[in-house]
Amino acid sequence: MIIKQISVFVENKLGRMAEITKVIGDIGVDIRALSIADTSDFGILRIIVNKPDEAVEALREAGMTVSLTDVIAVGVEDTPGAFAKAVSALSDAYISIEYMYAFISRNDNRACVILRVEEPSKGIEALQAGGFEVLGSEEIYNL
Amino acid sequence: MEKYFNPWVECASRETMDEMQSQRLVDMVKRCSERVPFYREKLKAEGILPGDIRSVKDLQKLPFTYKQDLRDTYPYGMFAVPREQLSRIHASSGTTGKMTVVGYTPKDIEDWSEDTARALVAAGGTPNDYIHVAYGYGLFTGGLGLHYGAERLGATAIPVSSGNTKRQIDVMRDFGSNILCCTPSYAMFIGETIEDMGIDPKSLPLRAGIFGAEPWSKEMCSEIERLLAIKAYDIYGLSEVMGPGVAFECSVQDGMHINEDKYIPEIIDPDTGEVLPYGVQGELVFTCISKEALPLIRYRTRDIATLTRESCACGRTLIKMSKPCGRTDDMLIIRGINVFPSQIESVLLELKMVTPNYLLVVDRVDNLDTLEVQVEMTSELFSDTVRNMESIEKQIRTALLSTLGLAASVRLVEPKSIKRSEGKAQRIQDNRHI
């Protein structure tokens, strides 16, 4: 249920994004989802890939600063209001969301939301209790 | 048990040293006024007769010598011996203008070799050691200075010179290097390379290192000691005075002993020329009482340090100088505050999460000086949330503000993006063009 997300430090310099994504592409790894947090000086690129350990090794070898973070993924029905219910399930259980990003699944009528919360296992419990489907890593990596 | 290369001199009594210095000073002043037109005229202009100098106590009567004087008499105008007696010429880099040219007689080379031999012994070196000299060989005095000291000690010199870092490591491992001699920034680079290559530094035969030619902080010293698994010793010198070995660190690792049997040190106020007491920071001045080819009287080094006569646990009685904290011309004045890059380095390294690879970018925006400290990212520093990253930047900013009174902006940059040096590190980028 815990998903491994890769975070990469990106200096605000022309071509850095291209460099990073090229490393991943060159080793044949597929990006499932991504998000970027930007400040005036740097960005943090967050990606979910189908082969996280290989990607991390390749990025580190290319001299990049990389870390792995545990995140959770919840499946949300693609209807108005469904997402709000999922987020409420977490806040009702006093769980703060550090950040999140979403993508549409190709297979079914569903949105997947990646969430970083302080205690992933508690987050999983709260979502499941609210009747939401928490996605496993294999599902996400192989979407 | 402490070993000395020359215990008679290194542990001499104050009286013996004063006597030696006085005799040599009197001879030296006489020689300078007889053989060096520059000094003859200068002494005459100041109304000083060689006979006025009878002992070390009369040192302050003599005028100062400046780097500009060497430039004005380029190349050999201040030499005190005829060409036939010169066995070597060296010159310093001359990044700002003409090279500063220095010369040596065979006896000067012998004296210099003893200086660096003393340094090697103080760092635990023995005749059974391989001395890995990774300072540049050439006009720069670093390489040959340590090389001749190694041979003088009876040890084995490995003249690797600088550059080709992978090969340096091969040499260390295969040729059996015991003592590494290079600049501290290059030592850092070698250490980082060893770490990247996954080599355990303890598996190398290195025991100690002697690093100099640029200022470096205690914190950088600890980092080098960790990366290379050695004890790191400081060494000081400048080609005008002789070369590396004018002063050297002992096992106590708290300041450097000056070879005052040959170089009489003083600390002066750089603005007024007034001689300052022990313990007060000021500009280092040396009088070269043994040199034959280029004896200099009260040469102003532009290096900032302090002197102390406190006794040293190593047993040496040679006067000690602190690590130079910078040069009078290294010093940045940012919004009216005097800042030495070494101070910033200390602050950064004390935070324990940044590497000593940094760049200070000074600029002027809307008539106000700005300082940006560029610091390389490390995996220890990296956090997945912007919040944590910003808090790290803030910690650095706060530390700089409270220690230096300076509000600087901090920029985290990619690892390995700050240029590494094989010689002296360039830490400052002053875009102000003053």
CATH number at residue B420: 3.30.300.30
Test B385 with A46 for CB contact under 8 angstroms. Answer: no
Question: Rounded to 5 degrees, what angle do the CA atoms B382, B388, B390 make?
Answer: 95
Q: Give pLDDT, residue A69.
A: 92
HSE, side-chain direction, 13 A CA sphere, residue B175: 20
DSSP B174: I
Q: For residue B369, what are the CA distances in angstroms to B22, B375, B402, B409, B434? A: 49, 19, 18, 12, 11
Range of the domain at B403: 332-430
Do residue B30 and residue B98 come from a single domain?
Answer: yes
Task: Give the pLDDT band (50/70/90) at residue B93.
Answer: low
Q: Give pLDDT, residue B407.
A: 87
Do residue A55 and residue A81 come from a single domain?
Answer: no
Task: Pull the structure tokens for residue B126.
Answer: 């023995």
Do residue B397 and residue B254 come from a single domain?
Answer: no
Q: What is the pLDDT of residues A41-72, one digit of tens each?
A: 889 999 999 999 999 999 999 989 999 999 99
Element (H, E) at A10: strand A3-11
Q: What is the pLDDT of residues A20-46, one digit of tens each?
A: 999 999 999 999 899 999 888 889 999
User: Which CATH number goes with the domain that contains A11?
Assistant: 3.30.2130.10
Using the predicted structure, report yes or no on whether residue B414 has a pLDDT greater than 90. Answer: no
Mean pLDDT of B194-218: 92
Task: Give the pLDDT band (50/70/90) at residue B27.
Answer: very high
Question: How far from chain centre, in Å, is Cα B338?
Answer: 21
Backbone torsions φ then ψ of A94, nearest 5 degrees: 60, 35
Do residue A58 and residue A14 come from a single domain?
Answer: yes
Query: How many angstroms separate the CA of residue B397 from the nearest CA in chain A?
Result: 15
Q: Which residues of B touch A5 (CB under 8 A)?
A: 384
Do residue A111 and residue A77 come from a single domain?
Answer: yes
Do residue B263 and residue B337 come from a single domain?
Answer: no
Using the predicted structure, report yes or no on whether residue B97 has a pLDDT greater than 80. Answer: no
Do residue A49 and residue A75 come from a single domain?
Answer: no
Query: How many angstroms separate the CA of residue A85 from the nearest CA in chain B?
Result: 25
ipTM tops the 0.90 cut: no
Q: What is the pLDDT of residues B154-176, one digit of tens each?
A: 999 999 998 899 999 999 999 99
Q: Give pLDDT, residue B380.
A: 76
Query: How many angstroms separate the CA of residue A66 from the nearest CA in chain B?
Result: 7
Residues 6+ apart with CB under 8 A from B71: B97, B98, B100
Q: Give pLDDT, residue A49.
A: 93
Test B385 with A67 for CB contact under 8 angstroms. Answer: no
Q: Which residue of A has its CA nearest to B383?
A: A67
Task: Give the pLDDT band (50/70/90) at residue B51.
Answer: very high
Mean pLDDT of B298-312: 95
Do residue A87 and residue A32 come from a single domain?
Answer: no
Q: Give pLDDT, residue A110.
A: 83
Test B384 with A46 for CB contact under 8 angstroms. Answer: yes
The closest of B324, B313, B297 to B253, measured between CA atoms, is B313
Do residue B232 and residue B359 come from a single domain?
Answer: no
Q: For residue B281, what are the CA distances in angstroms to A141, B249, B266, B276, B352? A: 63, 19, 11, 8, 27
Q: Give pLDDT, residue B249.
A: 97
Q: Give pLDDT, residue A143.
A: 64
The closest of B234, B233, B229, B222 to B195, measured between CA atoms, is B229
Q: Indicate the residue type of A137.
A: S
Strands (E), B239-349: 244-249, 256-258, 263-268, 282-288, 299-305, 307-308, 320-321, 326-327, 332-334, 337-339
User: Which CATH number goes with the domain that contains B76?
Assistant: 3.40.50.12780
Test A7 with B378 for CB contact under 8 angstroms. Answer: no
Q: Indicate the residue type of A86.
A: A
Using the predicted structure, report yes or no on whether residue B424 has a pLDDT greater than 80. Answer: no
Q: What is the pLDDT of residues B231-242, one digit of tens each?
A: 999 999 999 999
Pick the last residue of a domain from A35, A50, A67. A67
Mean pLDDT of B202-208: 97
Q: What is the pLDDT of residues B69-84, one digit of tens each?
A: 998 999 999 999 999 9
Q: Calculate what percentage of chain B has a pLDDT beyond 90.
A: 68
Task: Give the pLDDT band (50/70/90) at residue B94.
Answer: low
Is residue B412 less than 8 Å (CB to CB) from chain A? yes
The closest of B423, B434, B418 to B372, measured between CA atoms, is B418
Pick the last residue of a domain from B312, B328, B344. B328
Range of the domain at A135: 70-141
Query: How many angstroms separate the CA of residue A115 from the nearest CA in chain B?
Result: 13
Least confident of A31-35, B93-97, B269-273: B93-97
Do residue B216 and residue B339 come from a single domain?
Answer: no
Q: What is the pLDDT of residues A110-137, one digit of tens each?
A: 888 999 998 999 999 999 999 999 998 8
Q: Give pLDDT, residue B76.
A: 96
Do residue B385 and residue B423 come from a single domain?
Answer: yes
Pick the last residue of a domain from B328, B355, B378. B328
Please give the tally of structural domains in chain A: 2
Q: Give pLDDT, residue B121.
A: 98
Q: Which residues of B345-376 are buried (b: 16+ CB within 10 A; e: fewer)?
A: bbbbbeeeebbbbbbbbbeeeeeebbbbbbbb
Do residue B112 and residue B85 come from a single domain?
Answer: yes
Q: Give pLDDT, residue B392.
A: 83
HSE, side-chain direction, 13 A CA sphere, residue A68: 14
Q: Give pLDDT, residue A24.
A: 93
Using the predicted structure, report yes or no on whether residue B190 has a pLDDT greater than 60. Answer: yes
Test B415 with A98 for CB contact under 8 angstroms. Answer: no
Q: For residue B195, what are the CA distances in angstroms to A129, B189, B224, B227? A: 48, 10, 12, 7
Test A63 with B416 for CB contact under 8 angstroms. Answer: yes
Bigger pLDDT: B363 vs B39 = B39
Mean pLDDT of B101-116: 98
Using the predicted structure, report yes or no on whether residue B422 has a pLDDT greater than 80. Answer: no
Cα gap B285→B307, rounded to integer Å: 11
Do residue B267 and residue B152 come from a single domain?
Answer: yes
Q: Is the CB of residue B181 less than 8 Å from the CB of residue B146? A: yes
Q: Give pLDDT, residue B377.
A: 82
Do residue A28 and residue A78 come from a single domain?
Answer: no
Q: Calculate what percentage of chain B has a pLDDT beyond 70.
A: 97
Pick the last residue of a domain from B279, B306, B328. B328
Residues 6+ apart with CB under 8 A from B306: B267, B278, B279, B280, B281, B282, B321, B322
Do residue B317 and residue B336 come from a single domain?
Answer: no
Task: Pull the structure tokens for residue B137.
Answer: 């060989």
Task: Give the pLDDT band (50/70/90) at residue B59.
Answer: very high
Is residue B429 less than 8 Å (CB to CB) from chain A? no
Do residue B96 and residue B200 come from a single domain?
Answer: yes
Using the predicted structure, report yes or no on whether residue B404 has a pLDDT greater than 70. Answer: yes
Do residue A54 and residue A112 come from a single domain?
Answer: no
Is residue B413 less than 8 Å (CB to CB) from chain A? yes
Q: Which residues of B touch A39 (CB under 8 A)?
A: 386, 389-390
Secondary structure (DSSP) of A47-79: EEES-HHHHHHHHHHTT--EEEEEEEEEEEESS
Burial status of residue A74 (CB atoms within 10 A of its CB: 0-12, 13-18, 19 or more)? buried
Do residue B344 and residue B232 come from a single domain?
Answer: no
Cα gap B49→B30, rounded to integer Å: 9
Do residue A45 and residue A85 come from a single domain?
Answer: no
Strands (E), B214-305: 231-237, 244-249, 256-258, 263-268, 282-288, 299-305
Residues 6+ apart with CB under 8 A from B381: A65, B353, B354, B392, B412
Do residue B153 and residue B166 come from a single domain?
Answer: yes
Maximum pairwise Cα distance, chain A: 45
